Amino acid sequence: MHTVNIHEAKTHLSRLIERAAKGEPFIIAKSGKPMVKVVAIDALDASEARRVGFMAGKVSVPKDFDRMGSDEIEQLFGGDV
């Protein structure tokens, strides 16, 4: 990944933003110390990527899930007026 200092980033900001928008992220450093990472908004970081099925086997749904609390609901909303 390309690293630029703050002065270079200010001087070439438009060009750097265009490159980042095309998928080439870069880092802005101050006195050689990395400060920020610039990436396109639609780029997903590996830690942000959604993982399908990552909770498989860790959650169980009761067989009567669709009827849970039905007596209480009937009393609250379907009882005699």
- State the pLDDT confidence band at 31, using cuts at 50, 70 and 90: very high
* Cross-strand partners of 36: 28
Query: Which tokens go with 16?
Result: 């750097």
**Per-domain residue ranges of the chain:** 2-41+52-77
- CA nearest neighbour of 19 among 4, 39, 41: 39
- How far is the C-alpha of 59 from the C-alpha of 18, rounded, in Å? 44
pLDDT for the residue numbered 14 = 95
- Which is the CATH superfamily of the domain at 2-41+52-77? YefM-like domain (3.40.1620.10)
pTM of the shown model? 0.52
Average pLDDT value for the chain: 87
Percent of the chain past pLDDT 90, that is, above it, reads 47
Phi, psi of 42 (to 5 degrees): -80, 0
